[in-house]
Structure 1
Amino acid sequence: MASMHLLLTVDSSEWDGGSGSWKPLEDRDLTSHHRATPTEVTVGRYGELNVFVRPTDPVHPYRWSIQ
């Protein structure tokens, strides 16, 4: 069985807005959580959507996971 590969990740935020565990340098002084979500896309309950494909078999259906 061939393995699935991550094709795309859609995240609900660019940085968490709380701990600032990852924050761009240009946003380091911003405290608003709204700044962490410029696209205003929310996946599930503020998670991320991962889409997986099987590159060796393009007919095989894609799989997805929300975390």
Structure 2
Amino acid sequence: MKKAERQKDKEIRPGMQVEFICPKCGTHLAWALPDMEMNCPKCGNWVTNENRKKPKLDLMLPTDDDQLTLF
């Protein structure tokens, strides 16, 4: 199993997914590619990479990571 990688200097590498967390209500939405936009089902806020709430340790996962197979 591949380990999550720490984001260096806010650099998002191609093919890596980030965790989308709603900045308005804090709902954990999904792991997705940074160019995605999603609507929070709880509060209706649109979340993008620019406005997503970033955890203290902002991780990135490759698209073929075993942890994401369940989804």
TM, length-normalised to structure 2: 0.25
1 or 2, which has the higher strand percentage?
A: 2
Structure with greater helix percent: 1
Larger radius of gyration: 1
TM, length-normalised to structure 1: 0.25
